[in-house]
Each structure stands twice: as C-alpha cells, then as structure tokens.
Structure 1
Amino acid sequence: MNTRTPQAVLSALTLLALTGCTGAPTSQPDASETTKSEHGGIAGAAQVAEPQLHLVAIDAAGKASMLDLLNGTKAQLDPVQPPINVTSDGRYVFAANPHGVEIIDSGVWTWDHVDHFHYYRAEPAALGTVAGEGAATVATGLLSTAGTTGMFFPSSGSAVLVDNSALSEGTISETLRLEVAPHAGLIAPLGDGAVVTEADANGKAARLRAIDAGGKELTAAECPAAAGTITTRAALVIGCADGAVIATSDGAAPALDHVPYPAGAAAPATAFDARKGRPTVAGIGKDAGVWLLNTREREWDWIPTATPVLAAATVDDDAGHVVVVGTDGTVQVYEESTKERIATTTPLMPKTLASPELTGKVELTVDGGRAYVSAPAEGVVFEIDFADGARIARTLELPTQPVHLVETGR
C-alpha cells in the first residue's frame, strides 16, 4: 500500500493524552476565546488521532486536486481561476489571480495548542473569492479556525483581513479593508489587528504600521524594501533590506523590533519558510546560501550552500535540518549547528529547469518527517526523507500538474 507514517505521529498521539491546554502564541488569539467547540473543532468535522497530511496541486489553468499522504487517495477539487501564486496556512488554499483570491477549504487541519495538537478532518469545499486588483500577497497565522488571514492587493492598495472562524463555517467575512497607496506590500495578522506596509514617495514598501482591529495605528517602524513574512510561535516576521522586523503583541501593545543583519551581510532575504510554527526560519535571497533567523533569540546566521537556491525551509527539529532546493535541481540537506551539507540528491528536475517559467514555480514544503519538492514540468512531487540521507521515499503523481503545490493538514 502507498502509505506514509509521519515521524511525528507517535509523539503526537502521546501528547494528545495530555489534559492541560496552554495559551496560544502571542501573535494569535487565545484558543479559549476563539473556538465554539473543543480546541479548533467545528460542526461536521471529525477529530482524528494523527495529522491528516495532504498535498494540494493546482495547474496553470486552475484545475485543482488533492493527494492523501497517509493512504494515497486522490481527489479532484473545484477549479479556480488561473492563479499567479498559491498560499496555504495548513488548511485553506489561497489562490491569487489578478482580480482576487479564491479560497479552497482542504478539509484537513491541525489545532496547535503549543504543548499538544488536535487533528481534524472534514469535506473539502470551495468557499468563494475575496475581490481586489493585482495578485495578492497572502499572510497567514498559526490557527485556521481562529484569528485572521491578511491579503494585500498591490494594484488597488486594498489591505484586507479575513476572519478565519467564519471561514471554518464556510463563509468569507472581511473584518477590515483598508485602502492605502497602491504598492507591492503586505498585511500580516498580529493579535487582534495586523501589521501593514506603507509606501514611500517612490511607491516602495518602506514602513510598517501596527494597527488595531479597526485600522487605528498603534506603533510604527521603518522597514526599507519590506518583503516576505512568516508567523512562528514566537513572533511575526517581516523582511527588510537591512534585516527584519519581529512583531509581537500581548493583546494591547504591539511591539515592532528591528533585527539587523550582521556586518558584511550577503543579499537580503525576500521570502521566509519553515516547518509550520517553528521559531527558526529560512530566509531566501539570491546568493548561494540561506539566512537563518531565530525568532526567539532574535539572531541571524548564514549557511553557505553548494549552489544558488530555488527554495529553502528549516525543519527546526532536534537535529537542526535545513532543506534546500538548488538551481541545479538537487535537494540538499544541511545541519544548522555545523552548517555542513550532510546529504544531497542527484538532479531531479531537468525538464523544469529547462523552462524559465516553471523554474520559478518549484515549491518546497516540510513537515516533521518529510520534505516535498514539486517538479512541474515532470508532473511529479518528490517526497524526501531528509533525515535519511535525502532519500527519495516516493515519487508522487497528482491528478493535476503541480504548477502550484501546498501541504495541508499541518
């Protein structure tokens, strides 16, 4: 049988036996205030014993499908408009096109209670569209049934927050829509409000404003060439040309702290990725190397890589695995503490690398036991066991070409 048993399952089952539940991270509402039923469950969803990990693939025409990584079941999803980019918070799939963001509920998710997790499964569904002009930048939080999701539309300058609790009930509800100067910006959830970019006189994102739920500015910070964001258990991260701003909130007073790059730093990171929620994230720029940002210690580190980087993500496990996809099509594994390359694959995607359009679509996603790397031109996804010499555990095919790929159930 074509199955996968994640390494985290055994420990997760043990943790499910715990009876105490701690508060949610500082960048998210407290779980006791946001759920109508126990710990992220909703009506019609079944709580299950292990994470329901799935891959969702969307092709260039907008056809979408799912693959259950546990039992190999494949399913077609409702199509979307041809997307420019696709994002996920581990449950919802946000497909951005030039005139809006279409939302798919994959029907699988994890409720992160910090010291333990709850896992749910329901039917997938198409939820509708959030309107806006220009392919939106989407910023997500940690909890799919609480808090908000941010969508920034660059052509119209619309900064939107969508209520996740309403999404979990099948409804799109905007809690905030700000109209600002059009620019390539972002709005990222923080506490009950958000952090939103502000453009300079040249129309470039240069300043960050922390706002409350009604859009009132609470504090601000400079952030030249603001780009890239990720939410960890410790904080919200937004990349700047001279470092990053780490944003936290205790529910009333947000703080925007600047963490500069070390002296003589290489090119700045313009995107961040990590195993969901983990505090150390990979910052991806243009050089042959990866930035590591520890959002708890507020420290940068640099790992030189064998090749320039197409994609990178930190697993942030005890072994400190960092997974990198090189421009030569190899998947490389590094050790965070020693910065040594400990494993690599042979080149995996010659057809994709021969297509400039598809090379930029190579996606990497990591969980506690595996990394998944898309090869759009080859029409497959490689499942990599990063802890076992970068072994290719499976070569997966979905019903639709993985031009866009996300992992849900996390």
Structure 2
Amino acid sequence: MHVRPLPLAAVVAATLALTACAGPAPSSPSPASSTGHGAIAGAEEVAEPPLGLTTIDADGTVTHLDLLDESVTRIGAVRPPAGMTTDGRYLFADTGDGVDIVDSGVWTWDHVDHFHYYRAEPGVRGTVPGDGPATVATTNSSTTGGTGVSFAGSGDAVLLDTAALSKGEVRELFRIERSPHAGLVVPIGSFALVTTGESGAAEAVVGYTAEGRPTGLREVCREPAGTITTRVGAVIGCADGALLARVEDGALLVERIPFPEGAPEGAVAAFDNREGRPTVAGLAGPTDIRVLDTRDRSWTLLTAPAPLVQVTAVDDEDDTLLALAQDGRVLVLDAVDGTIRAATPPLVAESLAADETPTLIADQHRAYLSGPSEHRLFEIDYADDARIARTFDTASAPVLVAETGR
C-alpha cells in the first residue's frame, strides 16, 4: 500500500423544486456559541431538531424539505448519482467517478446526555475524485473525526477530515493505494479500518491512524460488506458475523461477534438503525433478518413474515423493527419474534415494480419512506398502527433521500 495526498476539485450548483403543504412554524434561531458544543462559525443554534428530508433526483438536482414548517430549500445540483450515504447532515453522492458532497445545512450535536441543534447555509461543497463505484462510511458526528471513502475501480482508500468539511473545506487526511476491490474505509475516532485483499476480493481489515500510519492491527474479515456506527462502536459485516471496532484508552480495538452456531450461510450486505442506537438490523436474504445488539455483542436471527427489501432497528422500549416488504408495504415488526404488529397499505409498489429503490428511515417518533416512481415522500407513525401521518408530493422523483438535522 502507498499513501499519497491529492488535491480536490469542486462541483457546480444548480436549482430544483419540490412541492409540499403548509405546517407548523420553525423554532427561533440564536447565534451559535463559539465555545464548542458542535457550533460552527456562521451557524445558528435552534431550540429543537431541525429535521428535514434532503433528496437527490436522477439528474442530480437536490432539494431540502423542512419537516417542521414544510418549506422547501433549493440547494443545488450534483452529477447524476448512482448511490448516496449520509451522516445526518451531509449527503455523499456516488457518481461512478467520484463522490459529490452536499451540505444540508442542518445537524444535531450529540453530547450523550443532551443535544444541541444547528442551522447553517446549505450547499454543494465539492468532490472527492476517484475511479469506479464508491462506498462511503460515516460516523455520528458531522463536525469531528473522519469520513471514509473506498473506490472499487482504483482501490484508493480515502479518509476525509470531517472537521474541515464542517467549515466548507473538502480535505483528505490520507489516500492509500490498494489493489482494486469493493472495499471499505471505516472511521473510528482518530483511526480508520481499511479493507485489504488481492484478486478483487477483500479478506481482512487493517488499522491506520488518521495520518495514514499503519497501527499493526489486522483482522480477518471474509467478504466485508455493510458498516454502521452505533453508540458502542463501528460495525463491519463479515461472511461469518461482524467486527465491532472502538477506541479505548487511545487504542484501536476490534472484537469479533460471530453468527450463532447453526446460522444459515449468508452475510448482511447493509445495516440500518435509528441513528446512534446500539442495535442494528440487516438482511442476509429476503426473509432472513439478522439483528445485532452491539452493547450485548449478541445476534438475534428472525424469519421475516414476508419477503423484504430493507429492515431497520428502531431499538426502542418496545423492541421495534421496521421493514419494507417486496409488495410495497411498511411492516412494524417485533424484534424478539419477528411477528407483524402493524402494516401500511402497499405505498411504493410502483417503484419496486420499476426496479426503483425506495428508502426507509427510522427516527425516534416517525418513519420516512421515499417513493421514486410515485413522486412522493411518506411520514409514518409506526407506534400508532403504522398510520400515514403526512405525505409530500415531489416535483421530480426522489431517487435518493436522507433524513437530515438528526
């Protein structure tokens, strides 16, 4: 492997539109303090989470819908995207030859026992150049630490400086040359885990400091796929279970959490949860739900009551899972036995029939579902028999969507 710096290019901005209804008034902002607590110069602190849905359509146009007052902000445009990852503030859009970065301008700073909420000017911030499909891994902080980008075509492993990004600068902490493969760069505190392997397949993860120096740590991980950060640490899916990485006393530590004995073959391709919570969920097959409690280091294997497209862990007192079924319904499931508690009508059947990919997002009180073919966003009260609380018709197809401000 070889570490080298690379300057970054910028992208252009454009305009877009989305239609919605009127709603409650937003909270009044106050100037952000310069003493910390996630504050950034030019941002305003607000009294409640500035939640929104930030969407990218097939042409790359970007729209932000404020969920408090249902107003619409025109942010700009990126190149036509193939995929997107978010940390709750930024949208990292994979374009096939780089990653374009959108700042939604809203975020939450988590101080464990309390939170601070901010608004700033949104915009398109720049591009991370690269070759081939990109996989992005974030933490739960949009003002500190790093963001990892792995390019499958070139094999380049990039760690971005998230603190610099919060000030409008796209800066690489390191860029490591590897053999081309669909890999991962997973940030953990002031470190990162980087996949390595030959012949186009990753077989292990190795540790690096944020400056790109090897730590000497190496853990076998066959078929690494899927990563997510919880309050406990960063999860990486492997063919035989998962790795859990955390920093303790200034050192990078990795634990192996194998699947239970007798578990069916299959890895979890993607994990989802209510942001920051210790429990995550994913699919190893259409009816094979795998729930990982990172606090207890334990798996729960469930059989879904219907073929699924996506599953996410709410991790509330009621042990709730949310799932998108292949027929377009959102299912509210029991995370202990997998039974259905409630279900919506088929909301996004048209999208699924057209091979469009809806996105299901869970937060503390609501779920959000995108319907690209339906040109609609749905807000679902999953605790109230999966009631459709609000719908928002969009001017263009919301191909990629993130809940931001959380």
Q: With structure 2 as the length reference, what TM-score do the two structures score?
A: 0.90
Q: Match for residue 181 of structure 1?
A: 179
Question: Residue 208 of structure 1: which of 205, 211, 214 is its match?
Answer: 205
Question: By how many angstroms is 1:340 displaced?
Answer: 2.4
> Residue type matched to 1:215 in 2?
G
Question: For the Cα contact (< 8 Å) 2:146–2:189, is it kept in 1?
Answer: no
Q: Distance in 2 between matches of 1:173 and 1:297?
A: 36
Identify if the C-alpha distance between structure 1 residues 2 and 40 changes in structure 2 by more than 3 Å, giving closer, same or farther.
same
- Structure 2 residue runs without a partner (length 5+): 1-20, 28-32
- What is the root-mean-square deviation of aligned Cα atoms in Å? 1.8
Q: Match for residue 19 of structure 1?
A: none
Q: Distance in 2 between matches of 1:251 and 1:139?
A: 23
Q: Match for residue 293 of structure 1?
A: 292
2:320 equivalent to 1:321: yes
Identify if the C-alpha distance between structure 1 residues 68 and 228 changes in structure 2 by more than 3 Å, giving closer, same or farther.
same
2:344 equivalent to 1:345: yes
Question: By how many angstroms is 1:2 displaced?
Answer: 4.0
Give the alignment of 1:297-308 within 5 angstroms. Answer: 297-308=296-307
Q: Match for residue 165 of structure 2?
A: 167
Q: Match for residue 146 of structure 1?
A: 144
2:93 equivalent to 1:95: yes
Q: Distance in 2 between matches of 1:5 and 1:342?
A: 33
Q: With structure 1 as the length reference, what TM-score do the two structures score?
A: 0.89
Question: By how many angstroms is 1:345 displaced?
Answer: 1.2
Q: Match for residue 20 of structure 1?
A: none
Q: Match for residue 227 of structure 1?
A: 225
Superimposed CA distance per residue, residues 338-367 of structure 1 (whole angstroms, 9 cap, x where no aligned partner)? 4321111121122212212x1xx2111111
Question: For the Cα contact (< 8 Å) 1:53–1:407, is it kept in 2?
Answer: yes
Give the alignment of 1:391-402 within 5 angstroms. Answer: 391-402=387-398
Q: Distance in 1 between matches of 2:248 and 2:24?
A: 39
Q: Distance in 1 between matches of 2:404 and 2:293?
A: 24
Superimposed CA distance per residue, residues 130-149 of structure 1 (whole angstroms, 9 cap, x where no aligned partner)? 10111210000011011111
Question: By how many angstroms is 1:284 displaced?
Answer: 2.2
Q: Distance in 2 between matches of 1:5 and 1:370?
A: 19
Give the alignment of 1:115-126 within 5 angstroms. Answer: 115-126=113-124
Question: For the Cα contact (< 8 Å) 2:203–2:222, is it kept in 1?
Answer: yes
Q: Match for residue 262 of structure 2?
A: 264
Q: Distance in 1 between matches of 2:174 and 2:77?
A: 27
Q: Distance in 1 between matches of 2:23 and 2:205?
A: 45
Superimposed CA distance per residue, residues 83-115 of structure 1 (whole angstroms, 9 cap, x where no aligned partner)? 110111000111111111111110000001111
Identify if the C-alpha distance between structure 1 residues 4 and 293 changes in structure 2 by more than 3 Å, giving closer, same or farther.
farther
Identify if the C-alpha distance between structure 1 residues 228 and 116 changes in structure 2 by more than 3 Å, giving closer, same or farther.
same
Name which of structure 1's ranges 247-256 and 131-140 shifts more when overlaid on structure 2.
Answer: 247-256
Superimposed CA distance per residue, residues 171-227 of structure 1 (whole angstroms, 9 cap, x where no aligned partner)? 111111111111000101012110010114x32111011211232332111100000
Question: Residue 247 of structure 2: which of 235, 246, 249 is its match?
Answer: 249
Give the alignment of 1:368-379 within 5 angstroms. Answer: 368-379=364-375
Name which of structure 1's ranges 212-221 and 111-120 shifts more when overlaid on structure 2.
Answer: 212-221
Name which of structure 1's ranges 183-192 and 339-348 shifts more when overlaid on structure 2.
Answer: 339-348
- Structure 1 residue runs without a partner (length 5+): 10-34
Identify if the C-alpha distance between structure 1 residues 78 and 294 changes in structure 2 by more than 3 Å, giving closer, same or farther.
same
Question: Residue 380 of structure 2: which of 379, 384, 387 is its match?
Answer: 384
2:125 equivalent to 1:127: yes
Question: For the Cα contact (< 8 Å) 1:293–1:301, is it kept in 2?
Answer: yes
> Residue type matched to 2:144 in 1?
A
Question: Residue 58 of structure 1: which of 56, 59, 80 is its match?
Answer: 56
Identify if the C-alpha distance between structure 1 residues 4 and 230 changes in structure 2 by more than 3 Å, giving closer, same or farther.
farther
Where does structure 1 differ by over 4 angstroms across 4 or more consecutive aligned residues? none
2:72 equivalent to 1:74: yes
Q: Distance in 2 between matches of 1:105 and 1:203?
A: 33
Residue correspondences, number:
379
Q: Distance in 1 between matches of 2:365 and 2:296?
A: 25
Q: Distance in 1 between matches of 2:349 and 2:222?
A: 37
Greater percentage in helix: 1
Identify if the C-alpha distance between structure 1 residues 366 and 139 changes in structure 2 by more than 3 Å, giving closer, same or farther.
same
